[in-house]
Amino acid sequence: VSLQEEIVRLGMAGHSVLGILPTGGGKSLCFQIPALHRFFTMGALTIVVTPLQALMKDQVDGLIAKASLSCVAALNGLQTPPEKAEVREAVRLGSIGILYVSPEQLRNSSFKRTILQREIGCWVFDEAHCLSHWGHDFRPDYVYIARYIRELAAEQGTPVPPVMCVTATAKDDVKNEIVK
């Protein structure tokens, strides 16, 4: 069994996972396959937090073009207010199954109001090394994410959803902090 297959199996089973795969090792498929399964079987939303807006756009464009999927979208600082409003409305209406966001979106009250109306099937952290103070790309907005996820689940009256973290690079101290 490949590492990629094992991560997908764990994700499909609803487990939290830390997956460390080399660049080009198929990290995106590890969370996209379970996310699409959750969406098409239960209507659940998977939120993918990624620090790279260009990567976010590539992921969304790729899924739309290659897989003819219309259930994927992104919210980031490069969009106009009308574009963001259109995405939030599609999320609210339940037509989005995978939503890519920058970590800064979690500070946005309209984003929170939008996702409160949906069952969150999983939180995904792409480039998960950014979650660690020891990671080379740490961003302050990552400090509060674990609390945000717990508080959102409490507000929704649901258990905390599984969390999948994927990255290409993580030393032991980074891995330990991500898991914690």
- pTM, to two decimals: 0.92
pLDDT digits (tens, 9 = 90+) for 61-88: 888 888 888 899 999 888 899 999 999 9
Q: Which has more confidence, 40 or 23? A: 40
pLDDT digits (tens, 9 = 90+) for 9-34: 999 999 999 999 888 778 899 999 99
Residue 70 · residue 87 · CB < 8 Å? no
> Is residue 90 classed exposed, middle or buried when 0-12, 13-18 and 19+ CB atoms within 10 A define those classes?
middle
pLDDT digits (tens, 9 = 90+) for 96-144: 999 999 988 898 899 999 999 999 999 999 988 877 765 556 677 787 8
- Tell me how far apart the alpha carbons of residues 20 and 1 are, in angstroms, rounded to a whole number: 15
What integer pLDDT is reported at residue 138 of this predicted model? 62
Angle in degrees, CA 113, 63, 95, rounded to 5: 35
What integer pLDDT is reported at residue 137 of this predicted model? 61
